[in-house]
Amino acid sequence: YAMLLSLIFLIVLVAAIVGFVFRHEIKTSFESNLELALKDYNVTADRHSQAVDTIQRTLHCCGVQNYSDWERTEYFSQRGIPRSCCKNQNDCSEEDLKDPNKAKLKVFVDGCFFLVTSTMESKMSVVAGISFGIACFQLIGIILSCCLSRYITNNQYEMV
């Protein structure tokens, strides 16, 4: 049991170290994937488009760096900026969303990349605290299982 707990502890420790070391690569990868999702965005209900819409609605943001990122997409030439960027869904018309100057007043102007990464970084202290607490319980479990094993082994020899 102690060996199993030690193995799990080491796997979690390695995963945490790798996540910390490669956090910049994770950010870069997220940014490029978000840009790709904007480029391939369409109104049909595919997973990437739904994810972009959810991020934009939840975090009150639009585009990767700002709302003007949509101007470089095929979707913009057809329909303008997506409705998920609108501050007020009732006050966003398709004509407004096709004109970047009018859209600036009706959509969120901040980009999603900065908001997503700052939200993740602000939650990292909570994740780190919970992980540290779980690691402490695992170490206590390893120590107690070793003590129990030694106690059982000592009692076996006393009975004979």
Give 4's contacts (C-beta < 8 A, 6+ positions apart).
none
Identity of the amino acid at 114? F
Give 155's pLDDT tier (boundaries 50, 70, 90): low
pLDDT in tens, 92-132: 888 888 888 888 888 898 989 998 888 888 887 788 788 88
How far does the chain reach from its first CA to its final CA, in angstroms?
Answer: 25
Both tokens assigned to 83: 């409705």
Q: Which fold has domain 1-158?
A: Cd81 Antigen, Extracellular Domain; Chain: A (1.10.1450)
Instruction: Report the C-alpha gap between 84 and 107 in whole angstroms.
Output: 9
pLDDT band per the 50, 70, 90 thresholds, residue 134: confident
